[in-house]
Amino acid sequence: MSLTITGPLRGSITVPGDKSISHRALMLGALAVGETRITGLLEGEDVLATAAAMRAMGATITRHASGSWSVHGVGVGGLLQPQTALDMGNSGTSTRLLMGLIASHPITATFIGDASLSRRPMGRVIDPLSLMGASFSSAPGGRLPLTMTGLTPAVPLEYTLPVASAQVKSAILLAGLNTPGHTVIIEPIPTRDHSERMLQGFGATLTVEETPQGRRITLVGEAELKPQTITVPGDPSSAAFPIVAALIVPGSDVTITNIGINPTRAGLIEVLQAMGGDITLQNPRTIGGEPVADLRVRHSPLKGIDVPASVAPSMIDEFSILFIAAAHAQGTTRTTGLEELRVKESDRLTAMATGLTAIGVSVEEHEDGLTIHGHAGDPLPGITQPGATITTHLDHRIAMSFAVASLHAKAPITIDDRTPITTSFPNFLPLMQSLGAHETHATD
């Protein structure tokens, strides 16, 4: 698949609901007694994998004709033994957060996933959850397939996160819900805080203190969660693709409504503005405990910058599309501190460096980042070798990044497999088409 344009991108779109918040809404709804109502749930494969797993463990989850969802939960401590292996597909968030939930329940579960997920490290959650009493057997290197047995009552833990990971933090917090006493997490580098916000929203006693060691999060265990009505804001990580598309296609003027701008997620907007991107936040408001705004994005000449490593956690999923913006900028963009990108759905540093090289962009790959020499607003060369394609490695964000790059290129940029896009952004193509993009050909 490749995209093309006959003019600027114009119009207003609404992207699907936030993936991180959608997973958490289903999980916490499944632990509350009574009906939790969710509107704006992301209906992507990753979130549907979470829904299927929660059903397999006793929750009743239904989709209404209106598009809203109901979850009837089993209560904290009430999850049931799943009868078959939990198939997590491509979803690291489903896997790691559910491992946390199961860790403090007296049940045994097996996790399986696709080739991408089966390569990803689970040791980062196995370690703290083992300290809480859960036991694990896994494929070599702490990988899927993995079978675990939880412990009730589990042992409360005080844990300093060795990697900046909201998934690890959330797994421990979810385990702490059915654990007596206080579960404490010290987070030296802040990561997305949706779990903390939503746990408080469901009535758990959770406090956050800023200390010299970092954020100290304390959850009082054996919590009773009260069902909620949740509106999921649009996913800033999905909005990132039309945002960069509008910045790089001459003459574009695009509005993306209802986007979550939680500061722990908004790093890309800050970095693109520092590069000269014309992005304005309109109508700021709070929805369901999360800050939200409409974004107006206009085509802009971009300049390369040194991206501070400290911004990485607040845009950890956005680097692949930032690299496409950098390829269009005037001058050089340098990124560092991105080791975590090597253990995402693909090794995103190598996948992006290889793909950028294939489309004629000069790039240097380092252990912890890329240095990209931009084309100063000119269309990128594209793929000149006949029949060559970009390899997406079962990674939705690699697929969408190069689809956006193809909007402003001299030769087509064809991606080998667009199917991974449905994990997080099922209507990516129709939305891009509504702004004026055309799909040129499909090889998949």
Which residues would be at the binding site for ligand S3P (CB under 6 A)?
Answer: 20, 93, 165-167, 170, 192, 316-317, 340
Q: Please say which residue, 172 or 435, places its beta carbon nearer to ligand S3P.
A: 172
What gap in Å lies between CA 436 and CA 407, rounded to an integer? 10
What gap in Å lies between CA 208 and CA 142, rounded to an integer? 30
What gap in Å lies between CA 418 and CA 407, rounded to an integer? 16
The reply to whether 317 belongs to the active site is yes
Say if residues 438 and 4 touch (Cβ distance below 8 Å): yes
What gap in Å lies between CA 69 and CA 237, rounded to an integer? 22
Nearest to 172 by CA among 100, 92, 93, 79: 100
The one-letter code for the residue type at 216 is: R
Q: Which residues are documented as binding site for 3-phosphoshikimate?
A: 19-20, 24, 165, 167, 317, 344
Alpha-carbon 197 to chain mean position: 17
Q: What is the largest CA-CA distance in the chain?
A: 63
Say if residues 420 and 399 touch (Cβ distance below 8 Å): yes
Taking the complex as a whole, the smallest distance from the CB of residue 341 to ligand S3P amounts, in Å, to 9
CA atoms within 13 A on the CB side of 385: 8
What gap in Å lies between CA 280 and CA 273, rounded to an integer? 9
The one-letter code for the residue type at 253 is: D
Say if residues 329 and 295 touch (Cβ distance below 8 Å): no
Q: Which residues are documented as binding site?
A: 19-20, 24, 92, 120, 165, 167, 317, 344, 348, 397
Which helix or strand (DSSP H or E) is residue 51 part of?
A: helix 45-56
Taking the complex as a whole, the smallest distance from the CB of residue 23 to ligand S3P amounts, in Å, to 6
Taking the complex as a whole, the smallest distance from the CB of residue 320 to ligand S3P amounts, in Å, to 11
User: Residues 211, 215, 221, 224: what is their CA dihedral angle, to the nearest 10 degrees?
Assistant: 120
Q: Please say which residue, 224 or 340, places its beta carbon nearer to ligand S3P.
A: 340
Q: Please say which residue, 214 or 301, places its beta carbon nearer to ligand S3P.
A: 214
Q: Phi and psi at residue 417, in whole multiples of 5°?
A: -155, 115
Taking the complex as a whole, the smallest distance from the CB of residue 344 to ligand S3P amounts, in Å, to 6
Taking the complex as a whole, the smallest distance from the CB of residue 7 to ligand S3P amounts, in Å, to 33
Q: Which residues are documented as binding site for phosphoenolpyruvate?
A: 19, 92, 120, 167, 348, 397
Q: Of these residues, 18, 317, 395, 417, which one is catalytic?
A: 317
List active site positions. 317
